[in-house]
Amino acid sequence: MSPIAESSPAPFGRLLTAMVTPFDCDGQLDLALAGRLARYLIDEESDGLVVCGTTGESPTLSWAEQHQLINAVRQAVGPGVNVLAGTGSNSTEEAVEATIKAEEAGADGALVVVPYYNKPPQEGLEAHFRAIATATPELPLMLYNIPGRTGCSLSPITVARLMDCKNVLSFKAASGTTQEVTQLRLQCGPRLAVYSGDDALLLPMLSVGAVGVVSVASHVVGRRLNAMIKAYLSGQSALALGYHEQLQPLFKALFSTTNPIPIKAALELSGWPVGPPRSPLLPLNADMKEKLSDILMAIHQP
């Protein structure tokens, strides 16, 4: 008997933007600009926003700043838009507290990254995520696996053990392989909604069961990414492939060095003065910025 693939729901929509954090000329949060950018991204067809994630420079934001940013974005977009808060930490106690505060601030969900640097075993990862899920049982969670940054990887088998937590609804797959999506579906079934954590892999991941993307490129090509997703889902595979190939130079440029250095430069080039990243990250160098500018101009030509 042949297996029948069952589609997963998309609890937060198909296209989520991992939003940058704007800073003013003194390197402080620019909450007013964050609000304007949030509204713009929704106008450009993002279904929701992720604040205080990797792209939002969470490692250099204080917990107080993160709370301010969540509040500002929530107020700016109103109650009808999904706002997820990055609440991960390599301290379980801190992650639990941050997730509780995000829920109190009106977040619709939490993006919770695998604990970084201390490299816990799978049993420790399970205990970590279970503690967060238990502390906020009504808040939907998106587990976030990005081993290139954290130093360890969350196994699909471990995720399957966490599926008894009713608020573990989704997973951001950023290991760089479509195989992760397949293994998650085989271990967890269709209840777990897997989102691509890599713009360049969005179309391949959709083809093996992902429901959407947590995107960086959607800051500047949100409508085109949304069109690609809709084309694929409606069976227009050639059209979806055309968008995929057209956007590859941009995807490559946006990850030519550490995220969010290039996307902040792209926003500056597009008229959004979001400021440079905080140290130890530096602004994009002149040569790379010129190449990025050329790519943006080519993409946006009529």
Active site residue 144: yes
Share in percent of the chain as helix, strand, coil (round to 5): 50, 15, 40
Cα 120–chain centre separation = 23
Active site residue 172: yes
**Rounded Cα gap, residues 174 and 299, in angstroms:** 25
Catalytic residue among 101, 144, 195, 289: 144
**Rounded Cα gap, residues 133 and 208, in angstroms:** 27
Catalytic residue among 101, 116, 172, 291: 172
DSSP letter at 200? G
Q: Are 243 and 224 in contact (CB under 8 A)?
A: yes
What is the torsional sign of CA 251, 196, 122, 141? positive
What is the number of other CB atoms lying within 10 angstroms of the CB of residue 133?
23
Q: Are 16 and 50 in contact (CB under 8 A)?
A: yes
**Rounded Cα gap, residues 288 and 112, in angstroms:** 31
Cα 27–chain centre separation = 23
What is the torsional sign of CA 167, 142, 60, 25? negative
Q: Are 15 and 212 in contact (CB under 8 A)?
A: yes
Q: Which residues are catalytic?
A: 144, 172
